[in-house]
Amino acid sequence: MLGASLNKAFYYLNSRWNCSLLALLIFPLSPFVGAVTVVLVSLITLAKQYRQISRRPLNWGFALLGLLLLITTGFAQNKTEALLGLFNFLPFFIVFAAFSTLIKTTAQLRQMAWVWVIGSMPAVTLGLGQLFLGWNFNLKILWVVLEWTIAPGGNPPGRIASFFLHANTFAAYLVIVFIFSLGLWLEQWRLGIGYRAWGMRRSRGAGSSKHREGSSPLPPASSPPLPTPQSLLPFIFLTVATIANFITLIFTNSRNGWAIAIFACLAYALYQGWRILVGGVVGIIASVLLAAFAPSPIAQFFRRYVPAFFWARLNDDMYPNRPVALMRKTQWEFAWSLAWQHPWTGWGLRSFTALYKAHMQIMLGHPHNLFLMLSAETGFLTTFLFCGLLGWILITAVQLLRKSKYMYREDRLLFFSYLLAFVAWVLLNMVDVTLFDFRLNTLSWLVLAAICGVVHRYNQQDFAS
């Protein structure tokens, strides 16, 4: 039993949506099966709702972005690599357009969040076994239908990667899932507290026939239905999932993942109004930063209490003498210089690796910044349009969260979780590039589609009223 709301929503949703949820559930374990299902659902939705999809200005923007990417491919030095690079973008524009039409309600947002959290548990379990139990296996069933490759000790050694290619990629996945698990946990906690609080108000009000003007022992008509006492299983599961995701994230040893997870915790605490918790988290963060970067006498004091696992990773004492070419500052400067050499068309998608190897004599897949990579490979115009479309999504989502009069309190928290996941994705791509992992790229575009679908539906309600 994972909640009456889940079962009820499953009953009313159509077959396309049920297939989508099943695909998202197995996506981490079998990207091939998940991808085929998501693509089929997208194409069916596109065929059935083409007129509705074609009328949305945001979809026009992504169509224009796709056209610009095609044009830059024609100017690329290595056109074959650039054509392959298009598959990291164009299919996902179609998925975005289809799912932003298919997803309309906060009930569907809740469904997806639950599915992602449940689907993360096998990856977390295998990752912990990889690091602490030395699990090592290479499982292939029907070629790519199910393919798990897990190296003992992680990749790089000492860092959990599970069946993802690299620990940083796994950390990016865990950050997004952690945000959803924490948001659902807070929702369950709120429902329990709200039920008890309303029960106390009702019991106090039942003994008196007189009430203050404007008050009532019953909830207002505009309030959502009161929650009934439920099994503790959903809350227990979410508690375990949230803790497990956070612990696994720690052992990915990803500084980016740590920082964004802490940022998410602070954002939730501020949203809930928990000032004491905010102060405590800020104090812990300050202690770790002082242990890592403060002058020696101060740093030595804080290092008595802060484990070296954290401060030595932050200031690179854990990995000394790294080559300059592997440092992000070097990669960013090189990508920026490439962008200014071809500011309009760029060098072509997937060109950074060969150019960096020729200049630095080292193989590197990307410059660890999506927006600098796009500037170098596709030019400033394409990058500005991409950033403008993301900004449009962010602005409309924030406006809905602040102004909509139709969204219940619990739904606002859920929508805030999706907005927070979107912001986390942007932050991740400022220090890394997530689109090269198919699972993570799909997850990111579905988050964007979910936000846009709900925003469009509520904006229509506001316009109609």
Identify residue 411 by its one-letter amino acid code.
D
All residue ranges of the chain with pLDDT < 70 are 1-14, 140-146, 192-231, 315-320, 404-406, 461-465
Would residue 132 count as lying in a domain?
A: yes
Would residue 437 count as lying in a domain?
A: yes
- Prediction pTM value: 0.85
Cα-only R_g, the chain: 24
- Using alpha carbons, select from 328, 306, 150, 172 the residue that is nearest to residue 245: 172
Spatial separation of the C-alpha atoms in residues 454 and 114, rounded to whole Å: 17
Would residue 384 count as lying in a domain?
A: yes
Q: Which domain holds residue 171?
A: 4-200+230-273+324-464
Helix (H) or strand (E) holding 150: strand 146-150
Residue 7, pLDDT score: 54
Distances, alpha carbon 92 to alpha carbons 170, 435, 442, in Å: 20, 10, 7
Residue 142, pLDDT score: 60
Would residue 112 count as lying in a domain?
A: yes
Would residue 282 count as lying in a domain?
A: no
Would residue 9 count as lying in a domain?
A: yes
Identify residue 158 by its one-letter amino acid code.
G
- Decide if 351 contacts 81 (C-beta within 8 A): yes
Spatial separation of the C-alpha atoms in residues 424 and 46, rounded to whole Å: 29
Collapsed DSSP state (helix, strand, coil) of residue 146: strand
Number of residues written out for the chain: 465
Phi, psi for residue 141 in degrees, rounded to 5: -125, 120
- Decide if 116 contacts 34 (C-beta within 8 A): no
Which residue has 């507290």 as its token pair?
Answer: 193
Identify residue 6 by its one-letter amino acid code.
L
Number of domains in the chain: 1
Would residue 52 count as lying in a domain?
A: yes
Spatial separation of the C-alpha atoms in residues 428 and 169, rounded to whole Å: 10
Half-sphere exposure of 261 (CA within 13 A, CB side): 24
379: left (phi over 0), alpha (psi -120 to 50) or beta: left
For 409-455, write each residue's pLDDT tens digit: 778 999 999 999 999 999 999 989 999 988 899 999 999 999 999 99
Residue 118, pLDDT score: 95
Residue 325, pLDDT score: 83
Would residue 206 count as lying in a domain?
A: no
Q: 10 Å Cβ neighbour count for 232?
A: 11
Distances, alpha carbon 351 to alpha carbons 80, 148, 368, in Å: 10, 29, 14
For 248-292, write each residue's pLDDT tens digit: 999 998 888 998 999 999 999 888 888 777 787 788 888 877 887
Which residue has 């469904």 as its token pair?
Answer: 111
